[in-house]
Amino acid sequence: MFDFGIIPPLMFFGMVAFMLYGFPVAFSLAAVGLFFGVIGIATGHFDAVFLEALPFRFYGIISNELLLAIPFFTFMGAILERCGLAEDLLEGTGKLFGGIPGGLAFAVIIVGAILGAITGTVAASVITMGMISLPIMQRYGYNMKLATGVIAASGTITQLIPPSLVLVVLADQLGKSVGDMYAGAIGPSLLQVGIFILYVAILAIVRPNMMPPLPKEARGDLDGKLIIKVLMGMIPSIVLIFLVLGTIFMGLATPTEAGALGVVGAIVLAAINRRLTWPLIRQGMESTMRITSMVVFILIGSTVFSLVFQGMDGSRWIEHMLSGLPGGAIGFLIFVNIFVFILAFFLDFFEIAFIIIPMLAPVASALGIDLVWFGVLLCVNMQTSFMHPPFGFALFYLRGIAPPSVKSSDIYLGALPWVGLQLILVAIVIFWPESVTYWLDNGPKVDPNSIEIKIDLPTLGGDQNAPGGLPGMPNLGLPPIGN
């Protein structure tokens, strides 16, 4: 614990104490970093010149083009939240599946996955689906714990499905390609949707009274008109998904360029749905500005903390503690996931990504763990930060738009089974790494040790056997060396 002195653990627990007390995270990190920076200079851990690296790190944050994808994806999600696309999808899909027990729950899960692939923001998905689906579920006799749980959980799928903002941040912190992170997240996101659907299907068989089918007058006729309506809601979504994700996977655009394309596509969809107004654009800009400013300030604060923490040998302290855990890589992964799950009770995903990931990544790399797989695994785990108290933002969003007749206890208790389903996916990803790595580049691999380079040097008119001649060089008529 104290092999590298007492200051690294003091610094770490000082950071935790500040945040638990309720100070803003960005300023807590910066304050703790600067305070211990003064201590580090006074105790001789490093010279004052060491802190001159901070302005260069700040400039690196502001000039990082990868992080520019965050405001683009946020703005895209803010526009799509208000453009009416989700309403059309939910209405059509709800009627399509409404004739079977749990049909509305199935529709919410499917639409939640689609919204996740086109918005990338949890708030947009939860608020939109809650406002549309929750009153209908309540009217037709759905169990409220099930209804609130499925809406909140389906909204949090957004955090895992590309183009998730979490994956962009994790790619930046782990030094990996955003495209690889997106490709690695495809398998777990599909598994998560499948686990949710399987859970609802089992409940529909065992306890159909919890989720009765919609009456005929509510769902209408299952005819071509309904199918066309569903397709008309899905086709624009598929086009937008291709603009954002397809261009990244095909190498046609960087994540930042794909985010810009997504914004253009979202504006076009809003115009098609006759929702494109100046107030909509202004509200989207305000939301984007708040989120982007929060991210930048947290990143600046975490940079101050991490620089001083490294100067105090904090990274070596973390690596020494975690690399010696019993069970090797599996023991490390189990400990880290329990640790991140507990932190998620108090920190949101941005804070965990900027504070904890830089400490864990060197240890994971030293243990031979693929960092893309590690990042996707942590993203799966961090879904739970939206689903459990006291800072379950998906639950806050749902409470804010739920009718007064829906009890807060129904919202919080209804989330518990879905948190368990998310943790099941964490275990699957740990013990089945191919769920992530299968979707990465599976092309032919070349062993660098098998590469042999042969270069034939041309003879430029020279005779290597002539006096003064050199192999491959013209005879300059010089006398032999030594004469």
DSSP output for 369-436: --HHHHHHHHHHHHGGGGTSSSS-HHHHHHHHHS-TTS-HHHHHHHHHHHHHHHHHHHHHHHH-THHH
Residue 180: alpha-carbon gap to chain centroid: 12
How many folded domains does the chain comprise?
1
Single-letter residue type at 161: I
42 in a domain, yes or no? no
pLDDT, residue 472, reads: 45
> Which residues contact residue 368 at a Cβ distance below 8 angstroms, ignoring those fewer than 6 apart?
329
SS3 at position 356: coil
459 in a domain, yes or no? no
Assess contact for 128 and 173: CB atoms under 8 A.
Answer: no
Distance CA 369, CA 367 (A): 6
Assess contact for 185 and 161: CB atoms under 8 A.
Answer: yes
- pTM to 2 decimal places: 0.75
Assess contact for 362 and 369: CB atoms under 8 A.
Answer: no
Instruction: Tell me the Ramachandran region of residue 50: left when phi exceeds 0, alpha when psi lies from -120 to 50, beta otherwise.
Output: alpha
465 in a domain, yes or no? no
390 in a domain, yes or no? yes
> Which residues contact residue 287 at a Cβ distance below 8 angstroms, ignoring those fewer than 6 apart?
74, 75, 78
C-alpha neighbours within 13 Å on the C-beta side of residue 172: 22
pLDDT tens, residue order, the chain (483 aa)? 445 568 778 887 887 777 667 677 778 888 888 888 888 888 877 787 888 888 888 888 787 777 787 788 878 877 876 776 666 677 777 777 777 888 888 888 888 888 777 766 676 677 777 777 788 788 878 888 888 888 888 888 888 888 777 888 888 888 888 888 888 988 999 999 999 999 999 998 998 888 888 777 666 666 677 777 777 767 777 788 787 888 887 878 888 888 888 888 888 888 887 878 888 888 888 888 887 888 788 888 888 888 888 788 777 777 777 766 777 788 888 888 888 888 777 676 777 787 788 888 888 888 888 899 999 999 888 888 778 766 677 777 787 777 777 887 888 888 888 989 999 999 999 888 888 888 775 544 444 455 555 555 455 444 445 444 444 444 444 455 454
Distances (CA, A) of 339 to 21, 49, 333, 355, 426: 19, 35, 10, 13, 13
39 in a domain, yes or no? no
410 in a domain, yes or no? yes
pLDDT, residue 220, reads: 64
Distance CA 212, CA 141 (A): 7
Dihedral of the alpha carbons of 79, 83, 85, 90, in degrees to the nearest 10: 100
104 in a domain, yes or no? yes
Name the packing angle between helices 7-21 and 25-43 (round to 10°): 160
276 in a domain, yes or no? yes
Residues in the chain, total: 483
> Which residues contact residue 42 at a Cβ distance below 8 angstroms, ignoring those fewer than 6 apart?
none
What range defines the domain where residue 215 resides? 80-162+186-294+383-427
